[in-house]
Amino acid sequence: PGETEEDFTATLEVAAEARFDGAFTFLYSPRPGTEAAEREGEYVDRAVAAERFERLRVVIDRSTRAGNEARVGRVEEVVVEGPSRTDATLTTGRTRQNRLVHFRAADALRAGTYAAVEVTRAGGHSLRGELREVRSSPRHRTRIPVVAG
C-alpha cells in the first residue's frame, strides 16, 4: 500500500540494473490479518497497479530475453526433466542457471539424465537446442520393489 510513482520508478531502475533472468511478480492483494490489509485507504488504484505491473513485466522480459540470447552458440550442461509438455517430439531440461531448454533426443532420456546441449535459438522464456552428448544417466531406480508379506 502507498507506493508512489517515485517508489515504482526506483523499482524499475533496480530491475533493469539487476538484469533478472526472470521474476514471479503479482498484483498486490490484501491478506487478512496482515498490517497491509488494515491500510485499505492507502492502496494504489487497481488500474495504476495494473499499468505498473505491465511496465515491470516489460523490463523483466527484456532482461530475460537478453540473457537467453547470450546463451545462443554455447554448449550448456542440462539436466533432463522429461518430455516437453507442449511438443511430444521434444525433451525438456534445465541449465545450471535454471533456464528451460527444449531439444530433440533420438531416444527418450530419463529425468535426471545430464546432457550437453548446444543452444541454437533463444525465446522469451526458454531456449531451443541440439543434443550434443548424453553425459550420465541417473542412478536412481525407476521402480520401487514391492515386498509382499
Residue 144 pLDDT > 90: no
Same domain? For 63 and 83 the reply is no
Region 113-142: mean pLDDT is 90
The pLDDT tens digits for 77-121 are 999 999 999 998 999 999 999 999 999 998 889 899 999 999 999
CA dihedral sign of residues 12, 14, 19, 22: negative
Answer for the pair 139, 114: CB distance below 8 angstroms, yes or no.
no
| Between residues 37 and 68, the one the model is more confident about | 68
142, part of any domain: no
102, part of any domain: yes
Ranking 55-64, 88-97, 137-146 by mean pLDDT, the lowest is 137-146
Residues 73 and 63: their CA atoms lie apart, in Å, by 18
149, part of any domain: no
Same domain? For 28 and 81 the reply is no
Residue 30 pLDDT > 90: no
Range of the domain at 99: 75-136
144, part of any domain: no
Single residue among 49, 69, 89 that ends a domain in this structure: 69
Single residue among 52, 69, 86 that ends a domain in this structure: 69
